[in-house]
Each structure stands twice: as C-alpha cells, then as structure tokens.
Structure 1
C-alpha cells in the first residue's frame, strides 16, 4: 500500500488552512486524511492541524483493525473526540470562535476501505478505469441539487457554493458519514479538498487517475492545473494506490 499527500497554498491565499497526511499504525495499516480548515485570523489552520494531529496520534497508538465494523467504530469515535477537542478549544479563546474544519479520512486495508467525512472534502475511488465519488458534500448547494431545486451546472456557479451544513468543531456534536467498501489490487483512492474539485472536473480527475505516471507526479499535475485556473483556494489531495507490485517490495504505483 502506498500513499502520497500534496498540499499547496494556491495563488491567492496568504496561508494554507489545509492539512493532511498518510499515517501507518504499528501493524502497517494505512490511514489517509485531509482537513480543510475555516475561521478568521488563521483559526482555520489551527482547526485542521488539530484534527490531523489528534487523529494521527490516536491511529499510531491504536490496535489492529481486523474488520470493517471495527474500522468504522474506530474512525467514528476518533471524529467524536476530535470534534470535542476543537469545539472546546474554540470556546476557550475568542480569536478561535467559530473555527472548524472539514475532514475526509480513509482506513485502507488489503480487503476494504473505510471512509468517514464531514463537510465538502471528498473521496473518490478509481476502479476499472472508472472514477466514482464515494462521499456526498455536506453543503447547501449539494442539498439543493439532491432535492432537485437546482442542477449540477447551476451548483457550480451558485453564490452560496461554499456554505457548509456540517463541519468538525463548529458545534458540540458532529455527525460524520462513515461507510466501508471493498477494493482490489490496482484500485486508487483520491481524497481532496474543494480547492481541487472547484477547479478540476470529475472527468479530468478520472483522466489524471488513469495516467501511467506515479502518484506523486499525478498529484503534482492536478495541483498545477488548479493553480493555472486561478488557485483562489488552498489545494490539497491524497492518492492511495492498492498495487500488487508493492506487495513484492516494488515502489512503482
């Protein structure tokens, strides 16, 4: 199993409120996670870094997860604990009032992946040359699309496109969505913040994921395209490759 995380400040923002990483527990199991922070006076980067650091520590000190049910329980509990920490931290310091972060995380084993998310950072699965979005954005415009009030094309230009209905740390109780699906050798997982998906279409993402380039180079090309199209937001992505070659000690993906 191989994962690659990339993040970029973009062309407009003065600092990067995104955070993320690829982490392994003592049993060699992989956790991929991206957080896109929000809040004034750089509070967003505090929230996203808190989310990543707390989950990383919990993961690296955790036990082996042998089933999808165990993985779902673990990530759900981790999200609850991180939400409490961020929410409490925001209450204690006025400059952090209202801060929060999106989170999309995946526990990746040989047999299955367990994905949990809150907000509009996304997870895609690339399998058999097809890219499928696994998560549903917790956003106002996505709810309008789902209810049939606007089209997907309308959503792209909607003035309240960035309004989230859920985030981590903004309320005392956070409700994340968690699911597990099977995957096989050759599949690839893409986690990303909206700084990427607001600039690069799903069709273009599929083309990148189908590339024969290694995942680091593929990720760089995605970031470059988002920046070429304005780069108004921070851009973060993470690719995990389920490659049989890696089982044999090879490093290609």
Structure 2
C-alpha cells in the first residue's frame, strides 16, 4: 500500500491537536482520515483523537464496500455517530465544552474514491488531467471569496481566516459534503490540515508531488516546507498513491 501518514506540531504550537491515520478493514479496503481539533483547554486533541479512533473502530468492523452508494452511506452514518459522540462528551466534560474538529476522509475502492469533509481540512487529487482541490472549505473566508466580497489574495491574509462555519462535534447535527470520483492506478490523493494548505501554495504542492522523490520523502518535504514558511500551526499529511487493481474486494 503506497500510503503515508505524517503529522508535526509545527514550530509555534506547544502540542499537536491534529490527528489522523490510514486504516484497513478485513477486506483490505482503505479509510484515510485527517482531523484538526479545536476548542477548550487541551480539548482540541481530545476531539480529533476521539473522531479518528471511533471511525477506525467502526471501519475495522465494516462490511465489504462494493459501490459508491455504499461508501457514501457508510461515511454519512458513521460520521453522524461520531458527531453525536463528541457533542455528548463535551456536554458532560467541562474542560471539553465547545470542542470540535475538522475532518476530511476518503474510502478507497479499486475504481473510485469517496471523499467527505467538514471544516477546512482538504483533499487534493493529482492525476493525468492535472492537480486540483476536491473539497470545499466550510469557512467564513471561503464564503466571502465565493460571494466576490474578497479576492484570493485578500483571503490569504484575512484576519478572520480561522473562523469555521461547520465542525464535527460542536452541534447536535452536522452537515457533511460527500462526493465520489473515479480513480486510476498512479493517481494521488493528498489529505491535509490547514497547517499545510495555509503555508504552501498549490504550485508548491504540485512541485513536490511531481518530483522524483518517494511518497514518504514527498510527505516529509511537504511538512518541512510548511515549517520553513512559518509553521505556525500543526501540520498533518496523508499522501496516497492508487495501486494497480487487484480485484473487487481490494484497494
């Protein structure tokens, strides 16, 4: 499996509130997750760790995913469960009141990947057609950008850049964006927290992803570059390269 997970607390933050991982079910299918926690005294790391651990547990018990519909239903059902778990935990633990986390995740099948996100952690795709962001940020700045109130340059330095419009665990119910894309051998999916995407331009991302380095070296260089560019936030990366097809029950 050509999949790499790396996380780093960056150069400024005292501890790491990001969490993530790459997990397989009994059929060898992959679930990849990046979560960026926030809120309360050390509550951000609680929220992100809970989200990842609970989804990991659910995935390890998952039936075989055969279609995009099944993948989308699995993510919808289980992310909603995790949202309720986090919301109830925060209500009964004073130190964690107001906690929440972003999440970006994908389920991989031989011929498709189903991607879901809440917040501003992102998924990018690199394939034969080029390089593009697959997810859309659920942030105030992105809404201002979409409505034409600010420019892309304004967005990069906006003072309210950290304000999210959606997060996992902060409300009793949450809205998640989900889409399924076709995927071919050699295609790359990049999941990351905003500690990476805020510090590295798409041109820089593409420069590293198209280099001759191994996938592990590429992931390491992405984190190094984000730290070189300031490293004010935690930085988390999952870099996945889709392999040759191995059959209907494998990824």
Give 2:76's aligned residue: 76
Matches within 5 A, 1:14-29: 14-29=14-29
| Counterpart contact for 1:3–1:32, Cα < 8 Å | no
State the TM-score, normalized to the length of structure 2. 0.96
Give 2:2's aligned residue: 2
Kindly state the Cα deviation for residue 209 of structure 1 after the two structures are TM-superposed: 1.3
Kindly state the Cα deviation for residue 216 of structure 1 after the two structures are TM-superposed: 0.8
| Counterpart contact for 1:129–1:210, Cα < 8 Å | no
Kindly state the Cα deviation for residue 3 of structure 1 after the two structures are TM-superposed: 1.1
CA distance in 2, matches of 1:148, 1:212: 39
Does residue 148 (structure 1) correspond to residue 145 (structure 2)? The answer is no
Give 1:101's aligned residue: 101
Give 1:110's aligned residue: 110
CA distance in 2, matches of 1:146, 1:67: 32
- What are the superposed Cα offsets for residues 52-111 of structure 1, whole Å, 9 maximum, x if unpaired? 000000001110000000000000111100000000000001110100000000001110
Q: How many residues align?
A: 246
Matches within 5 A, 1:78-227: 78-128=78-128, 130-227=130-227
CA distance in 2, matches of 1:184, 1:116: 19
CA distance in 2, matches of 1:98, 1:75: 24
Give 2:62's aligned residue: 62
CA distance in 1, matches of 2:210, 2:220: 15
| Counterpart contact for 1:30–1:107, Cα < 8 Å | yes
Deviating 4+ runs (over 2 angstroms): none
| Counterpart contact for 1:130–1:206, Cα < 8 Å | no
CA distance in 2, matches of 1:52, 1:194: 17
> Which sits farther off after the overlay, 203-212 or 181-190?
203-212
- What are the superposed Cα offsets for residues 177-207 of structure 1, whole Å, 9 maximum, x if unpaired? 0110101011000000000011100111111
CA distance in 2, matches of 1:45, 1:198: 20
> Which sits farther off after the overlay, 123-132 or 234-243?
123-132
Gaps in structure 1 of 5+ consecutive residues: 248-253
Aligned with 1:21: secondary structure? Answer: strand
